[in-house]
Amino acid sequence: MDYAVEVKNLHKTFSSGLFRKRRKSALKGVDLMVPKGTIWGLLGPNGAGKTTLLSILSNLLTPEKGDVRVLGMDIRTHAKDICGRINLSSGHANFLWSMTVRENLEYYAMLYGLSGEKKRRKIENLLDLFRLQDFAKVRFEELSTGTKQKLSLSKALLNDPDLLFLDEPTVGLDPDVAHRIRDMIQHLHDDQGTTILITTHNMKEAEILCEKVTFIMDGRIRAKGTPRDLKKELHLGDTIHLAFQGALPIATLQNMEGIDHIEMKDSSCRIRVDNHRERLPQILDFFTAQRIIIHNINIQESDLEDVFITFTK
Ligand SMILES: Nc1ncnc2c1ncn2[C@@H]1O[C@H](COP(=O)(O)OP(=O)(O)OP(=O)(O)O)[C@@H](O)[C@H]1O
Ligand SMILES: [Mg+2]
């Protein structure tokens, strides 16, 4: 398999304070393999090391130990070759404050080696794509958070990167703007095959966008896989709520395969199962055989948020 990101045994310690004596170990032997062409989520609580990892991958920070290969190249020896083919957009972006949106894009376009008509066309396209035309002449310091984020994403697409790092791209955005940004990320991946490594605290967003996710906590990788794999690994299961009429032989139902727990309340029950898709038909057959009439069925699926909470508890 071709990997866009190959990280092995990565360590990063920050030194700060007086005489740089205060040390904080942010990454403690991280391994991460991201296949080309995927949208991969990097999830974890505040301070877990997500931004540090993305900063090392974008060559903004140097690690003290470990191997980092980006697009098949060693980051230490091929930084220049990698640089033109990757980009990073942060939800907490900082640009040249006194320059306008267009001036900022022109500045970065120049750094990426764009010039003349090609540069003009690229910038116009990005201003259109992110609906930034009305803000083209507004200085960065006057922009709202959402508009700053759109500028950050526009900047990240200037060089048509093969690999894009997105650090909380929708943080603090209105739901409709966040939705549009997610659509753009998905299109970028679907239309251009861009590999995307994204951090987010929005587990719904991760579940919508990411094929696979890696959980990092306190500088160490805790788990990786599809959201479904992780739910299974943690035995999170689903809950089926049933409102019914009749006497339910709980003991028999309790012994059925895949049923973890049953909670009764008047003429309704909550049944925790390993997987509702497999177990609901089974349960419905059981109710029918017992001649119990069901009035209402409600399914509550566990999600990545439950995975996150279980890991961080
Ligand atoms: N420049 C720095 N100097 C000292 N410590 C730092 C520095 N940058 C990050 N850290 C520390 O390294 C750890 C990892 O920080 P990092 O920003 O990578 O976390 P994160 O997972 O991105 O968190 P968040 O979800 O809050 O963005 C934290 O304990 C943080 O305080
Ligand atoms: Mg961060």
Kindly list the domain boundaries of the chain, sorted by start residue. 3-232, 236-312
**What digits encode the pLDDT tens for the residues 185-224?**
999 999 999 999 999 999 999 999 999 999 999 999 999 9
Counting every residue written for the chain, the total comes to 313
Report field, pTM of the whole predicted structure over 0.85: yes
Share of the chain above pLDDT 70, in %: 100
* CATH 3.30.70, applies to 236-312: yes
Q: How far apart are CA 115 and CA 106, in angstroms?
A: 9
Q: Give buried/exposed letters for 40-76 (b at 16+ CB in 10 A, else e).
A: bbbbbeeebbbbbbbbbbbbebebeebebbbbebebe
- Please work out whether the CB of residue 94 comes within 6 Å of at least one atom of ligand 1: no
- Please work out whether the CB of residue 91 comes within 6 Å of at least one atom of ligand 1: no
Q: Which of 5, 1, 61 is nearest to 195 (CA)?
A: 5
Ligand nearest to the CA of residue 218, numbered in listed order = 1
Ligand nearest to the CA of residue 48, numbered in listed order = 1
Q: What distance lies between CA 149 and its chain's CA centroid?
A: 16
- Closest atom of ligand 1 to 52 CA is 18
Give the Cβ contact number of residue 186 at 10 Å. 14
Q: Given this structure, which CATH class describes domain 3-232?
A: alpha beta
**What digits encode the pLDDT tens for the residues 24-37?**
999 999 999 999 99
E strand or H helix at 279: helix 276-289
